[in-house]
Amino acid sequence: MNPESTAATPHANAIAAEARGTRPQRTDGHPEIPFTPLVASLPASIPFVGPEALERARNAPFRARIGANESAFGASPAALAAMHDAAMRISWYGDPEVHDLRQALAGHHGVRADEICVDAGIDSLLGLAVRMTVMLDTPVVTSLGAYPTFNYHVAGSGGLLHPVPYRDDLEDLDALAERQAETGAPLVYVANPDNPMGTWHDASRLQDFIDRLPGNTLLLLDEAYGEFAPAGVLPAMDTDDPRVLRLRTFSKAYGMAGARIGYAIGHRDLITGLNKIRNHFGVSRLAQAGAMAALGDQAFLAGVQSAVADGRRRIADFAAGLGLTSLPSATNFVTVDLGGVERARAMLESLAAADVFIRMPGVAPLNRCVRIGVGREDEMTVFEQAFARALPTLPRPPG
Amino acid sequence: MNPESTAATPHANAIAAEARGTRPQRTDGHPEIPFTPLVASLPASIPFVGPEALERARNAPFRARIGANESAFGASPAALAAMHDAAMRISWYGDPEVHDLRQALAGHHGVRADEICVDAGIDSLLGLAVRMTVMLDTPVVTSLGAYPTFNYHVAGSGGLLHPVPYRDDLEDLDALAERQAETGAPLVYVANPDNPMGTWHDASRLQDFIDRLPGNTLLLLDEAYGEFAPAGVLPAMDTDDPRVLRLRTFSKAYGMAGARIGYAIGHRDLITGLNKIRNHFGVSRLAQAGAMAALGDQAFLAGVQSAVADGRRRIADFAAGLGLTSLPSATNFVTVDLGGVERARAMLESLAAADVFIRMPGVAPLNRCVRIGVGREDEMTVFEQAFARALPTLPRPPG
């Protein structure tokens, strides 16, 4: 095993028992429950604590909710109206084929409808893609500090994560390709634009990376923030290439995170794989109707894109005015460098005390930064005041 | 292997390869995709074809949609209002802990909030419960002709189904317990009230069955239709018993199938297991708000229960007037005996030609029947006219 690999399933005995097909007996006082050894070995941890849980813990609401990369600009009025109309048929299941939306998305992206799978958000699609390719001890390559929910799903299938450090706050495509080659990992995860750093690779650079992957490999290309990226960042659609599954969502730029709807685009054999294991009646009828209308309102989307670009500039200028560096961003958040993890943690706590919810990357060296979402005008004002007040109180930078 | 068992994963070679940890090479002209051998071996079939797909195929809408056990009476106006209000925050993810609804459900059922897991409907919860207990070749016991989506999830985890025939149109609890004992299956599925037959066992009979199950066994007790059952059918809540996971939904009596929200009640160690693998941000913000309000409007629920009871009587009386037997039902549908599978199929086709959507059980001897959902007044009228017209045209009963 590569010394940098992370055993997603820590209990080797339980795993060995699963491989033998036997079930270990519980001896810890808990009742006997016939969990698989894998599930028994998983931690009870969760990928993220939600802002509502933080509000309950502090017994006060946030005034600025700019930590979960949600849209500050809501959904298209057309989407809201469509969901309102669809609520009149809320007692009917949604179309399990999600036919109309897939047709519309096919036209939008210039692909075929059978090259699209709609599901209840990218998180759910990540779970399906992992289940479809990962079994016990399957090596999986991702970046160290990238999306924790992907890691959560890999752990849930018993895979072994091989995390590759970022380089200069970018996902290190060369190192990712090398790690894939070393481990023979069938599954690789890349987010472009990236979360939590907001950085990106150009389409040509990404295509070079894809071209280096062997045939029997699947790249999950998470483009949750794709609508915020400038031209030339998203590779051309190429559904003839079975190595790439593109993941898109209505949760970010379209402002519909609370509705739970996203989609995957790829070779139709990849889509068939997802269809073999997905929850066919899992996409809400309201979400389907809302997404159709949202996709049809590209003028609203353009307004959001413009407002988000303005918001990013505002955060970057604000940080620069305080003598701080922020990373260039192709997302709806800006990652601000505070120069050290203690300073970042202290800022998180100071902002929370001032009713501002933000998050920070989870691992070094990314965790010297904090991640600021573009908020509404009132949220930006609350944030700026609290941040400026907190900055002089932080521990001194290391060195 | 028991001769009556059904290999959910038909390709023995692929399974053997998975057990060895190797991956077979594709030789069928499709691109190399690194599917697990299990997923590669799964059929591309789906549990149900939705009514929208049937409408697209016939190029005409149904006038009576009474085949998917959906509610004809919609959701509570309070639930609709709550969803409308929640849509103003549609850009925010739902609370991943589903805290408020779990608290309300705990009060409603007299259990603790940590004995409840809310997820995006029973279908999703079935998938989680299967993943939590089933691995390659794990035996699983269910009834022959029971819920196909459960079987779909078992296949998706590589389990081996041991289906037990119904007895007198009831799930055969004695035979299910015997089959569990024979196979050592860690997982057993029972729906009470039953779908597709609508029949039920009393709580005391079901509790006797539960008491026969060994400690290291999990019964998935699907109570999707529980709100329609008369008093004395649902066993008392006993979350001290780790052998039973109760599954409930807002899709049926609460009329919110299109919102995707249901829940499991059980020993807190069972709930912890679900929490280890569930999609934490998977429950729509709208659905959470709607379910809270729906639960709070028990007067609306009582009206639905009464209207459904009236509708069942109407269907049974109508069938009796035509000389047909219908089964007693504790659900929102009535199963009508047509005396033979050819007659049932012909009735399905005749009704579809008359714009009436119904379904029928999938296997003998249940498939001598058709399943009629309680519909709105206009739907019942369309159904009755079409059914009465079709009946004399059916093939003669066998024998």
By DSSP bridging, strand A218-222 and strand A187-191 are: parallel
Which single residue is written with the structure tokens 């289906």?
B163
For the cut 70, the answer to whether the pLDDT of residue A41 exceeds it is: yes
Question: Chain B contact for A121, CB < 8 A?
Answer: yes
Residues in chain B closer than 8 A to A32 (CB atoms): 215-216, 242
Q: How far lies A217's CA from each of A161, A186, A188, A241, A267, in Å? A: 15, 4, 8, 11, 13
Confidence class of residue B399 from pLDDT cuts 50, 70 and 90?
A: low
Question: Chain A contact for B31, CB < 8 A?
Answer: yes
Predicted confidence at residue A205, as pLDDT, reads 98
Predicted confidence at residue A48, as pLDDT, reads 87
- CB–CB contact B93 A68 (8 Å): yes
Interface of A with B in 61-120 (CB under 8 A): 65, 68, 70-75, 79-80, 83-84, 86-97, 99, 120
Average pLDDT score over residue span B152-158: 97
The residues pairing with A6 across neighbouring beta strands, listed in sequence order, are A161
- CB–CB contact A90 B290 (8 Å): yes
For the cut 90, the answer to whether the pLDDT of residue B251 exceeds it is: yes
Q: Which fold has domain A51-72+300-393?
A: Aspartate Aminotransferase, domain 1 (3.90.1150)
Q: Quick one: B291 exposed, middle or buried, by C-beta within 10 A (0-12, 13-18, 19+)?
A: buried
Domain ranges of chain B: 51-72+300-393, 77-296
Predicted confidence at residue B27, as pLDDT, reads 53
Residues in chain A closer than 8 A to B282 (CB atoms): 120-121, 123-124, 260
Question: Chain B contact for A33, CB < 8 A?
Answer: yes
Average pLDDT score over residue span A8-12: 40
Rounded to the nearest angstrom, the minimum Cα separation between B345 and chain A is 23
Confidence class of residue A308 from pLDDT cuts 50, 70 and 90?
A: very high
Q: How far lies B166's CA from each of B24, B133, B190, B196, B199, in Å? A: 39, 24, 11, 11, 11
Taking Cα atoms as reference points, which of B122, B123, B190, B187 lies closest to residue B159? B187
Question: Is ipTM > 0.90 here?
Answer: yes
pLDDT in tens, B209-223: 999 999 999 999 999
pLDDT in tens, B45-82: 788 899 999 999 999 999 999 999 999 999 999 999 99
Structure-model confidence comparison of residues A320 and A46, the more confident one: A320
- Helix ranges (H only) for A6-50 are 12-20, 37-41
- CB–CB contact A47 B280 (8 Å): yes
Predicted confidence at residue B227, as pLDDT, reads 98
- Maximum alpha-carbon separation in chain A: 62
Question: Chain B contact for A21, CB < 8 A?
Answer: yes
Contact between B351 and B390 (Cβ < 8 Å): yes
pTM score, whole prediction: 0.93
- B18-23 long-range contacts, Cβ below 8 Å, gap at least 24? B18/A135, B18/B136, B18/B158, B19/B136, B21/A135, B21/A136, B21/A137, B23/A186, B23/A216
pLDDT in tens, B271-326: 999 999 999 999 999 999 999 999 999 999 999 999 999 999 999 999 999 999 99
For the cut 60, the answer to whether the pLDDT of residue B108 exceeds it is: yes
Omega before B24 within 30 of 0, i.e. cis: no
Among partner residues A34, A53, A149, which is closest to B218 by beta-carbon distance? Answer: A34
User: d(Cα A319, Cα A313) in Å, to the nearest integer?
Assistant: 10
Residues in chain B closer than 8 A to A84 (CB atoms): 84, 87
Rounded to the nearest angstrom, the minimum Cα separation between B37 and chain A is 9
For the cut 80, the answer to whether the pLDDT of residue A176 exceeds it is: yes
Predicted confidence at residue A5, as pLDDT, reads 40
Confidence class of residue A126 from pLDDT cuts 50, 70 and 90?
A: very high
User: d(Cα A239, Cα B125) in Å, to the nearest integer?
Assistant: 32
Mean pLDDT over the full length of chain A: 93
CA neighbours closer than 13 Å in the CB half-sphere of residue B130:
27
Contact between A171 and A147 (Cβ < 8 Å): no
Phi-psi region of B50 (alpha: psi -120 to 50; beta: other; left: phi over 0): beta
> What are residue A191's phi and psi, to 5 degrees?
-105, 125
Interface of A with B in 241-300 (CB under 8 A): 242, 251, 255-260, 267, 269-270, 272-273, 275-277, 279-287, 290
Question: Chain A contact for B132, CB < 8 A?
Answer: yes
In one-letter notation, the amino acid at residue B122 is I
Residues in chain B closer than 8 A to A156 (CB atoms): 131, 276-277
Rounded to the nearest angstrom, the minimum Cα separation between A42 and chain B is 7
For the cut 90, the answer to whether the pLDDT of residue B398 exceeds it is: no
Q: Residue B348 CB: number of other CB atoms within 10 A?
A: 20
For the cut 80, the answer to whether the pLDDT of residue B15 exceeds it is: no
The residues pairing with B35 across neighbouring beta strands, listed in sequence order, are none
Q: Three-state DSSP class for B53?
A: helix
Confidence class of residue A22 from pLDDT cuts 50, 70 and 90?
A: very low
Rounded to the nearest angstrom, the minimum Cα separation between B75 and chain A is 7
Q: How far lies A227's CA from each of A78, A198, A252, A360, B27, in Å? A: 19, 13, 8, 23, 39
Average pLDDT score over residue span A213-238: 97
Average pLDDT score over residue span A353-362: 97
For the cut 90, the answer to whether the pLDDT of residue A23 exceeds it is: no
The residues pairing with B373 across neighbouring beta strands, listed in sequence order, are B333
By DSSP bridging, strand A244-249 and strand A262-265 are: antiparallel
Residues in chain A closer than 8 A to B34 (CB atoms): 133, 186-187, 216-218
Predicted confidence at residue B25, as pLDDT, reads 44
Interface of A with B in 140-179 (CB under 8 A): 149, 156
For the cut 50, the answer to whether the pLDDT of residue B390 exceeds it is: yes
Structure-model confidence comparison of residues A28 and A222, the more confident one: A222
Q: Residue A397 CB: number of other CB atoms within 10 A?
A: 11
- CB–CB contact B256 A290 (8 Å): no
For the cut 60, the answer to whether the pLDDT of residue A262 exceeds it is: yes
- CB–CB contact A120 B282 (8 Å): yes
By DSSP bridging, strand A187-191 and strand A139-143 are: parallel
Question: Chain B contact for A134, CB < 8 A?
Answer: yes
pLDDT in tens, A48-90: 899 999 999 999 999 999 999 999 999 999 999 999 999 999 9
User: d(Cα B380, Cα B314) in Å, to the nearest integer?
Assistant: 9
User: d(Cα B356, Cα B352) in Å, to the nearest integer?
Assistant: 5
Confidence class of residue A28 from pLDDT cuts 50, 70 and 90?
A: low
Q: How far lies A185's CA from each of A213, B26, B311, in Å? A: 10, 18, 57
Count interface pairs A-B at CB distance under 8 A: 291
Question: Chain A contact for B330, CB < 8 A?
Answer: no
> What are residue A187's phi and psi, to 5 degrees?
-130, 130
Q: Which fold has domain A77-296?
A: Aspartate Aminotransferase; domain 2 (3.40.640)
H helix count then E strand count, chain B: 14, 13
